[in-house]
């Protein structure tokens, strides 16, 4: 499965409850459009969306479950229960928050559970290269730059974080996934040229409100 994704584009099809396109019907339509135009995989959030997309579109699925619990900071598939839901929905790869922030289950325990009990691959969503090294050490199958810019320690960084992509490629043996803030085909190509295994693009393709805002701003400027 991973060989088929190498050098390609994964489209993240996500709309949270407050977003205009929220709903698995819309997300499955986005995923279908992505597949028709050559995407090699889909990333999606939550049981309903993952299940609906998987039932309609035959592409590898990176599944997540986003949940903000006030008692800890990690928010992407941070518990075993959430990992099981994502797995039951049909995800092939489960992406997890791998940042060095507070979490409900020790990270190595979550990784072992996903790999051994659920039998799925683990993508570690990190914000720093140190977190990437730790994720590889505890057995994650791939490391993504997803959370650079989204933690207290990295909020000063701009994305796409090409420096992080490059550093992770140099330090890790597992595939490095470029994700977060990629807005143009040129940026996606640059990430691949730096050694990213595949590229994940979300908002620039599947969040029309983001795209509209950029055009409106562009006209004002």
Ligand X SMILES: CC(=O)N[C@H](C=O)[C@@H](O)[C@H](O)[C@H](O)COP(=O)(O)O
Phi first, then psi: what are they for 196, rounded to 5°? Answer: -60, 140
Nearer to ligand X, 52 or 179 (CB): 179
By CB under 6 A, is residue 41 in contact with ligand X? no
| 3-class DSSP assignment, residue 62 | strand
Burial (CB count <10 Å: 0-12, 13-18, 19+), residue 193: exposed
User: Given phi > 0 = left and psi -120 to 50 = alpha, else beta, which region is 23?
Assistant: left
d(CA 108, CA 137): 9
- The DSSP 8-state label assigned to residue 138 in this structure reads T
The span of 21-29, 104-112, 142-150, 165-173 binding ligand X (CB under 6 A) equals 142-150
The least CB distance from residue 130 to ligand X, in Å, is 18
By CB under 6 A, is residue 99 in contact with ligand X? no
Nearer to ligand X, 85 or 204 (CB): 204
11-40 positions binding ligand X, by CB under 6 A: 12, 14
By CB under 6 A, is residue 150 in contact with ligand X? yes
The least CB distance from residue 103 to ligand X, in Å, is 16
Nearer to ligand X, 49 or 179 (CB): 179
Burial (CB count <10 Å: 0-12, 13-18, 19+), residue 8: middle
By CB under 6 A, is residue 146 in contact with ligand X? yes
The least CB distance from residue 147 to ligand X, in Å, is 6
- Give the number of other Cβ atoms within 10 Å of residue 220's Cβ: 6
For tokens 């075993």, name the residue.
Answer: 80
174-213 positions binding ligand X, by CB under 6 A: 179-182, 200-204
How many residues bind ligand X (CB under 6 A)? The answer is 15
Q: Can you give the binding site for ligand X, defined by CB under 6 A?
A: 12, 14, 64, 146-147, 150, 179-182, 200-204
């Amino acid at each position: 499965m991973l060989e088929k994704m190498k050098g390609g584009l994964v489209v993240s099809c996500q709309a949270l409850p407050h977003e205009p396109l929220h709903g698995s019907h819309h997300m499955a339509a986005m995923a279908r459009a992505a597949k028709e135009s050559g995407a090699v995989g889909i990333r999606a959030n939550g049981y309903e969306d993952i299940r609906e997309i998987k039932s309609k579109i035959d592409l590898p699925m990176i599944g997540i479950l986003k949940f903000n619990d006030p008692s800890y900071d990690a928010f992407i598939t941070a518990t075993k229960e959430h990992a099981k839901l994502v797995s039951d929905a049909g995800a092939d790869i489960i992406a997890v928050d791998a940042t060095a922030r507070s979490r409900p289950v020790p990270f190595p325990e979550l990784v072992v559970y996903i790999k051994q009990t659920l039998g799925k691959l683990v993508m570690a969503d990190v914000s720093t290269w140190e977190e990437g090294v730790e994720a590889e050490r505890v057995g994650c199958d791939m490391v993504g730059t997803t959370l650079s810019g989204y933690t207290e320690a990295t909020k000063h960084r701009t994305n796409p974080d090409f420096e992080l992509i490059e550093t992770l490629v140099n330090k890790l043996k597992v595939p490095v996934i470029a994700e977060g803030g990629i807005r143009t085909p040129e940026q996606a190509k640059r990430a691949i040229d730096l050694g990213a295994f595949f590229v994940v693009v979300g908002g620039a393709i599947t969040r029309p409100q983001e795209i509209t805002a950029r055009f409106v701003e562009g006209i004002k400027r």
